[in-house]
């Protein structure tokens, strides 16, 4: 995990970039509209225009739609960065919850909450500080009926004390 080179300690997590561990994850969501699969939100592109084909999208008018990335193992999560749609409908993400944990009970939507997206207020990308929460699953859930969940990118930052 640690390598010392000329007095400098380097942290190495095999196969995981320190900048965004979601890139190595597997994404799923409660439903899919057209071509907008869950994996589009972890493709490494912060392109926020849905029509460009780089955003996930659940079916319309769903109750409690959710999106999840499985990081394949538990990490210490320091932050989750969410990129919303930039072309329209930004308010659709208002009230969404970011949840982190190791349980798949209720599709992972019962895990502890890192934050609530109050309003991104025209800022397409926002970082939520998660205070070193432990978890394998990162969920974004939109509570309520007749909801739509669209995510253009979800990035997951880990702490340096995550196990190798």
**Cβ(107)–Cβ(29) below 8 Å:** no
Q: Which pLDDT score, from 0 to 100, does residue 124 have?
A: 83
117-136, pLDDT tens digit by residue?
987 767 788 899 999 999 99
Q: Which pLDDT score, from 0 to 100, does residue 163 have?
A: 56
CATH code for the domain of 110: 2.60.120.260
Instruction: Name the nearest CA neighbour of 78 among 41, 133, 119, 115.
Output: 133
139-164, pLDDT tens digit by residue?
999 999 999 999 999 999 997 655 55
> In this structure, is residue 116 part of a structural domain?
yes
CA distances from 14 to 17, 18, 21 (A): 8, 10, 11
CA distances from 121 to 13, 31, 83, 89 (A): 35, 26, 12, 11
| DSSP H helix total and E strand total for the chain | 0, 10
Within a 10 A sphere around the Cβ of 40, how many other Cβ atoms? Answer: 23
Q: Which pLDDT score, from 0 to 100, does residue 116 have?
A: 95
Bigger pLDDT: 43 or 120?
43
Within a 10 A sphere around the Cβ of 117, how many other Cβ atoms? Answer: 17
Domain encompassing residue 99: 15-158
> In this structure, is residue 60 part of a structural domain?
yes
> In this structure, is residue 2 part of a structural domain?
no
State the total domains in the chain.
1
Helix (H, G, I), strand (E, B) or coil at 92: helix
> In this structure, is residue 10 part of a structural domain?
no
Q: Which pLDDT score, from 0 to 100, does residue 19 have?
A: 73
Helix (H, G, I), strand (E, B) or coil at 101: strand
> In this structure, is residue 148 part of a structural domain?
yes
> In this structure, is residue 6 part of a structural domain?
no
> In this structure, is residue 72 part of a structural domain?
yes
First-to-last C-alpha distance (Å) of the chain: 6
139, two tokens? 């969920």
**Cβ(76)–Cβ(30) below 8 Å:** no
């Amino acid at each position: 995990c640690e390598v010392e080179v000329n007095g400098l300690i380097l942290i190495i997590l095999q196969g995981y970039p320190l900048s965004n561990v979601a890139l190595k994850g597997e994404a799923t969501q409660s439903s899919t509209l057209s071509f907008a699969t869950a994996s589009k939100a972890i493709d490494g592109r912060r392109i926020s225009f849905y029509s460009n084909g780089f955003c996930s999208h659940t079916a319309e008018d769903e109750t409690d739609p959710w999106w999840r990335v499985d990081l394949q193992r538990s990490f210490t999560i320091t932050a989750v960065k969410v990129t919303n749609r930039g072309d329209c409908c930004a308010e659709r993400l208002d009230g969404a919850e970011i949840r982190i944990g190791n349980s798949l009970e209720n599709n992972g939507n019962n895990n502890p909450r890192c934050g609530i997206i109050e309003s991104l207020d025209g800022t397409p990308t926002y970082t939520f500080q998660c205070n070193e929460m432990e978890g394998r699953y990162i969920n974004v859930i939109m509570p309520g009926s007749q909801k739509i969940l669209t995510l253009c990118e979800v990035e997951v930052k880990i702490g340096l004390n995550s196990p190798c």
